[in-house]
Amino acid sequence: MAKPAQGARYRGSIHDFPNFDPSQDAETLYNAMKGFGSDKEAILELITSRSNRQRQEICQNYKSLYGKDLIADLKYELTGKFERLIVGLMRPPAYGDAKEIKDAVSGIGTDEKCLTEILASRTNEQIHQLVAAYKDAYERDLEADVIGDTSGHFQKMLVVLLQGTREEDDVVSEDLVHQDVQDLYEAGELKWGTDEAQFIYILGNRSKQHLRLVFDEYLKTTGKPIEASIRGELSGDFEKLMLAVVKCIRSTPEYFAERLFKAMKGLGTRDNTLIRIMVSRSELDMLDIREIFRTKYEKSLYSMIKNDTSGEYKKALLKLCGGDDDAAGQFFPEAAQVAYQMWELSAVARVELKGTVHPAGDFNPDADAKALRKAMKGLGTDEDTIIDIVTRRSNAQRQQIRQTFKSHFGRDLMADLKSELSGDLARLILGLMMPPAHYDAKQLKKAMEGAGTDEKALIEILATRTNAEIRAINEAYKEDYHKSLEDALSSDTSGHFKRILISLATGNREEGGEDRTRAQEDAKVAAEILEIADTSSGDKTSLETRFMTILCTRSYQHLRTTTWNTPSRRRCLGTSETCLWPSFKVSRTSLSSLLTNFTNP
């Protein structure tokens, strides 16, 4: 398997087995297949707990000890999907890809989805290894076979990807970004017909970092994402291939999370796709795929596999998955990760907040109340007048208008607006007319109503408000719903997520300056996080509590102190793996950004 980049942490779900003895493993497998029948449980337990490198050593020792080919014996003893999965695990990654592509272009018809998935997602190094493995295994040229089985622009893009020559320089030229955006725009949206060659050249050769900036700039320039232009300008397998390339440029783990979900949703399971992805990503980015899958589809990959498969096949897939992100202690809910992201942003942005709506000069609540009444009288509603007034007054001025409206007309302005407006406009205008604390209280109430909980809404509000704003929200919630916010949160959430929310909802964050001595103690917690992530030792329960206390109660000034600038912090910033401990999961991006922001006010 490809090794993680220097400084990056391992994101696979399968690790080297400790105290590995290839001769003993070869003997275990031989005994499991000796005699009548086979011990499938022993086979899957052993093979799914060894890395691919270790499996290759087992193959060599098996042949040395017994003069037999282990893969051939496994094929003979096992059947069906379980056999395909186990045999797939026994092949070196490049040879596994080569076998998949050989099957995709052999016989009647072509498996375009398989070709697309593999060639759109592999790195230059993986492509080069694939081409060599194909030549070694089948004594054929991969490019020639692909050309012989495909056609048109789909074929041309596959050939470009097969060269494995995508630029890898992370230094991006701003001028070239703008030029590529213009070239893509002119090749598609601005042209009668489409210049497919430009799409192939740019998407097939530019570096990932460069293309991500191109995609951002394309959206700004054209007002639509690159995916929309591809769907409008291209078609068929070529369109699907180009969309897959874009998805992999944006996020390869997200691309595979989507592929896995589609493989299992609905009636039937696309087992070939499921096997191919679970095998090929188990030592690359399975943890990232799991995390994105849980966030995007609100269920764990583990649980979906468990409900969609059966027997030894299911057991082996679950081993490759590596854990259930819905289980206690396995996954820190994505909303809590959003909490840290939103909160860390508020920590540094607080002093920079600048609103776009200001108190209107020469404000006249009497005239505004009359204008709003006139806009809602008679047949129809003058929405433009309502929008113009409401969006050009500060919230304090809007409250004066509400009072004046009731004094003049004996009517509730909010009720009239609700009656006259509808849809998104109604929600927007009514939201603007509410006092901020009452609006936040309403959004929190809605987030906890009905089936399910909108964790992101809870987080967005509670992680970004000041102490004074939090206290005002508590009062508004009690006034409007005759129940304390804390009680509502307690009944609708659970575990560490609940504890964090309740801590934030107290509005008791310290507001003093930094304390150097205590900051040094707090900094040690970051080091302990890394130590536990690396060694799985230490007082995990105590650490969870201390970490929550620090992040939820320390002042922003204290958290930004340079005392955090320790070797442990720098190591944490440089890692690509999440820091894990029971019930908590803070992503590298979130923790790195958090620590960086606090140390660079």
Residue pLDDT, tens place only, 443-484: 999 988 876 788 888 888 988 888 899 999 999 999 999 999
Select the more confidently predicted residue: 492 or 119: 119
Digit-coded pLDDT (tens) for 185-228: 998 887 776 889 999 999 999 999 999 999 999 999 999 999 99
CATH number of 365-433: 1.10.220.10
Cβ(505)–Cβ(470) under 8 Å?
A: yes
Which range has the worst mean pLDDT, 78-87, 144-153, 191-200, 565-574?
565-574
Which range has the worst mean pLDDT, 250-264, 389-403, 491-505?
491-505
Q: Work out the average pLDDT over 307-322.
A: 96
Domain boundaries, the chain: 169-250, 365-433, 516-599
Alpha-carbon distance 475 to 493, whole Å?
Answer: 21
For the chain, give the mean pLDDT: 84
Tokens of 242: 């180009």
Judge if 365-433 and 516-599 fold alike in CATH terms.
yes
The answer regarding whether domain 169-250 maps to CATH 1.10.220.10 reads: yes
Cβ(583)–Cβ(16) under 8 Å?
A: no
Under the banding of pLDDT at 50, 70 and 90, the label for residue 349 is: very low
* pLDDT at residue number 466: 87
How many Cα atoms are found within 13 Å in the side-chain-facing hemisphere of 300?
A: 18
Is residue 488 scored above 60 in pLDDT?
yes
Name which of 411, 475, 492 is nearest 438 in CA terms: 475
Digit-coded pLDDT (tens) for 379-405: 889 999 999 999 999 999 999 999 999
Cβ(74)–Cβ(83) under 8 Å?
A: yes
Rounded to the nearest 10°, the torsion over CA 246, 251, 257, 259 is 20
Q: Where are the beta strands (DSSP E) in 465-583?
A: 579-581
Number of H helices, E strands in the chain: 36, 2
User: Which amino acid appears at position 88 of this protein?
Assistant: G
* pLDDT at residue number 329: 47
| Residues facing residue 585 across a β-bridge | 580
Fold of 516-599: Annexin V; domain 1 (1.10.220)
The share of the chain scoring above pLDDT 70, in percent, equals: 81
Tokens of 207: 């570096």
Under the banding of pLDDT at 50, 70 and 90, the label for residue 581 is: very low
Cβ(89)–Cβ(48) under 8 Å?
A: yes
Residue 23, helix vs strand vs coil: helix
Distance of CA 513 to the CA centre of its chain: 35
Q: How far is CA 406 from CA 112, 162, 366, in A?
A: 67, 72, 11
Radius of gyration of the chain (CA): 29
